[in-house]
Homo-oligomer: A and B are copies of this chain.
Amino acid sequence: MPRFGADNPQHDAGQGLYVRKDAPIYFENDTANHWYEIISGVVRTCRFQVDGHRHVTGLYYKGDVFGLETGRYQDTAEAVTETVMIPHPHCTREAPAQDTSRAYEWNRALRKALGSARSCIRLMGCKTAEEKVAAFLLETRERLQADDTIVVPMSRGDIADHLGLTIHTVSRTITALVRQKLIALDGRQKIKILDDKGLSMIAGEAGGSRASGPGEG
């Protein structure tokens, strides 16, 4: 079985690693040699059910980290766009966490990974297709650090497998949001957010402001 992931026991730590669009980075059940920090580009992790269904378990953007599981990778990682990232060696039995700074680095990375996982859980907690897509758009804007216009880097299929929907439903839902004048399309990748609060409402979040709410000023 010729499987070629970018993960390699001999990566130079700190060296930037380039992977092209759609290239695999590591496979589920491979020995986890490194975790990765994204310099530029987008990465997805996914799992496959026996019936062939794919579940995109995470999407990672500039500054995010992934592949922090110990022992063996529990997902497959692939580049969504061409991506540059830094591989960091994992803690192993032979090379345990020697120095403190290393421990702190892991700490920071683990916190970051936990945050990504939380985002994913929040997204999947939405019930209807409209809630999911609205939440996804808001989340993607935030993680891409984009303003009102998002250039969605992944395909409808990726979005669908991330949200637990079909391509068709994702497409229909986006169309519906356009018709409601909440967003506008420019090609299939560029999505402009027209009504922030409207989207937030649909997503089930407190409209627009993330803080403790209006309160009783």
User: Quick check: B204 and A114 within 8 Å, CB to CB?
Assistant: no
Nearest neighbor of A210 in chain B, beta-carbon distance:
B29
Nearest neighbor of A104 in chain B, beta-carbon distance:
B103
Selected A-B contacts with CB under 8 Å, 15 pairs: A50-B201, A53-B204, A58-B121, A69-B114, A70-B111, A97-B104, A106-B107, A107-B107, A110-B110, A110-B111, A110-B114, A113-B114, A117-B118, A124-B164, A127-B164
Find chain B residues with CB under 8 A from A206 CB.
50
Indicate how many identical chains form the complex.
Answer: 2
- Kindly state the separation between the CA atoms of A74 and B110 in the bound complex, as whole angstroms: 17
Q: A100-B100, A125-B164 are in contact. List 4 more A-B contacts (CB 8 A).
A: A51-B204, A68-B114, A69-B115, A124-B125
Find chain B residues with CB under 8 A from A57 CB.
118, 121-122, 125
Indicate if A49 sits at the interface (CB-CB under 8 A). Answer: yes
Indicate if A10 sits at the interface (CB-CB under 8 A). Answer: no
Q: Give the size of the chain A interface in residues (CB under 8 angstroms).
A: 42
Closest Cβ of chain B to A97, distance in Å, is 7
Beta-carbon contacts of A59-84 to B below 8 Å, as 1s and 0s? 00000000011100010000000000
Taking CB atoms and an 8 Å cut-off, the chain A residues in 110-139 that contact chain B are 110-111, 113-115, 117-118, 120-122, 124-127
User: Quick check: B122 and A121 within 8 Å, CB to CB?
Assistant: no
Find chain B residues with CB under 8 A from A47 CB.
122, 125
Closest Cβ of chain B to A2, distance in Å, is 13
Find chain B residues with CB under 8 A from A106 CB.
107
User: Quick check: B125 and A55 within 8 Å, CB to CB?
Assistant: yes
Indicate if A142 sits at the interface (CB-CB under 8 A). Answer: no
